Amino acid sequence: MAFVVDSDSRDSVGIRGLISKARETQDFGALQTAFDSITKPGTGQERVSSDICVLCAEAALQLGCGEISKPCLKMYFEGSPPANQFLCRAYLCQGQLECPPAAGSVEDVEKAADYFLKAIEVAKREPSLHCLVFNASVLYVHTVRPSLQRGRSAHLVPSLRQVLQGLEELNDPDHDWRAQLMMQLLKCYIDAGEMEEAVMFAKATQQFVKSHTAHLFPELFSLLIQHKLSDSDVLLEMSQQSPTLTAIYKLEEFKMLVSANIDELKEEDSAKLQDIFDLLAPTKEPASLTESNPQPLPPAERVAFLLELALLALQTKHQKVAADCLKELKMAKEASTGQKIIMECISCEIGLLKKEAKMNEYSKGGVEARLREIDRLDQWLLNARRAADPQATQAVCASQWRLCLPLLQHNLRKSIRTALLRVAQAL
């Protein structure tokens, strides 16, 4: 299809000016006029450059006008455009238009992702377009993010691998971004049950992270332990390299123990909780810096570990360790808003455990005490959502579920219906 305008009034310069005005001032009228000029047939005409369709589509996307963006791109692609920056930009624009809602099907996600992969293939051939490879990778991740969850990410292995290959071929300098994508691909391999590939890719990821983004190694180390992607002796040796890795190793080992034997924890297993607490909150300073851990845990990491340990202790009904963690946390100055909300969850559960020790769980007083804590958590859930903190939101939901569980009996469940509905909405 030819793109035409009257040479004396609707020339390319005028249309470009309208598009620029639309983008700079959010002028919907200017955008509509530009679109009408592109699509309206005329006589005595000169051909309009096809890149104008891409510019108009981008402006329409920015202003949320898909009804303009889509036909502009359709006209552009029908013209068999050359492989240049505008083809890349058209692919990026089309991919964003195809981006499905969070509950979109696998087919919808792959359809949108395919446009970003096409943009990468075009852009990596031309040095002046290499920046678009990075842009495409960011848009790709934004599109597939709802699928980057355990149980939903197996189908992303081919496309995410292609995105990473594009960045690697260009030796993209944003090593943090590449390392994060490598860890996401590792999770996708695991989700797909491709454990041999996961083990091999874990080695490559470990080498890259250690060489370029050592600060991300603790996150990778957790994955290595959780999914047994390295020999146990090697993991144990790694854990001794820093206090942070030691804490991660002990916490992950205990979580696996709980998952396997939550109803049959032995006394010596439970004692491991206290050992971890002693690591995070030593009662005395080491005599010298040459003792087992040469430097203390960074304060922010210590807060995160104490929160994790407290939640584990509550899960296994170890009130003392949870209370000790909470005491340490209250003295810390580094807690974020979300972490303070999680502390409130811990406080609620500890308080309830104390009350239950003195009364029957299903007595009138026991039920009323539980309902009061449920009301408190309901408010903290609202606070977590206002803070847009997913970790805090998840923690409140988990605590709320544990508190509501005993009240799911037929004669009691009505009293917790609203609280559980809010949990469902938050998740």
Q: What is the pLDDT of residue 245?
A: 95
Grouping H, G, I as helix, E, B as strand and the rest as coil, residue 49 is coil
Helix axes 51-62, 28-39, angle to 10 degrees: 150
Average pLDDT over residues 7-22: 72
Average pLDDT over residues 259-283: 79
Q: What is the pLDDT of residue 139?
A: 96
Say if residue 154's pLDDT is above 60.
Answer: yes
- Residue 372's pLDDT band, with cuts at 50, 70 and 90, is confident
Say if residue 42's pLDDT is above 60.
Answer: no
Say if residue 4's pLDDT is above 80.
Answer: no
- Residue 119's pLDDT band, with cuts at 50, 70 and 90, is very high
Q: What is the pLDDT of residue 289?
A: 43
Q: What is the pLDDT of residue 268?
A: 74
Q: pTM for the full model?
A: 0.83
- Residue 176's pLDDT band, with cuts at 50, 70 and 90, is very high
Closest residue by Cα to residue 223 from 243, 242, 241, 209 = 209
C-alpha span between 84 and 103 (Å, rounded): 34
Say if residue 7's pLDDT is above 60.
Answer: no
Q: What is the pLDDT of residue 120?
A: 97
Percent over 70 (pLDDT), the chain? 89
Grouping H, G, I as helix, E, B as strand and the rest as coil, residue 282 is coil
Q: Computed from CA positions of residues 360, 361, 363, 364, in that sequence, does the dihedral angle turn out positive or negative?
A: positive
Average pLDDT over residues 413-423: 85
- Residue 265's pLDDT band, with cuts at 50, 70 and 90, is low
Q: What is the pLDDT of residue 260?
A: 76
Average pLDDT over residues 305-317: 90
* Higher pLDDT, residue 146 or 411: 146
Say if residue 334's pLDDT is above 60.
Answer: yes
- Residue 263's pLDDT band, with cuts at 50, 70 and 90, is low
Q: What is the pLDDT of residue 5?
A: 41
H/E/C letters for each residue in 67-106?
Answer: HHHHHHHHHHHHCCCCCCHHHHHHHHHHHHHCCCCCCCCH
- At 158-171, the pLDDT tens digits run 999 999 999 999 99
Grouping H, G, I as helix, E, B as strand and the rest as coil, residue 47 is strand
Average pLDDT over residues 63-68: 91
Q: What is the pLDDT of residue 357?
A: 60
Q: What is the pLDDT of residue 283?
A: 60
Average pLDDT over residues 41-63: 76
For residue 6, give the DSSP letter.
E
* Higher pLDDT, residue 357 or 223: 223
* Higher pLDDT, residue 191 or 425: 191
Grouping H, G, I as helix, E, B as strand and the rest as coil, residue 46 is strand
Average pLDDT over residues 276-285: 78
- Residue 184's pLDDT band, with cuts at 50, 70 and 90, is very high
Average pLDDT over residues 404-421: 83
In a 10 Å sphere around its CB, with 0-12 CB exposed, 13-18 middle and 19+ buried, how is residue 394 labelled? middle
Q: What is the pLDDT of residue 43?
A: 30
Q: What is the pLDDT of residue 294?
A: 55
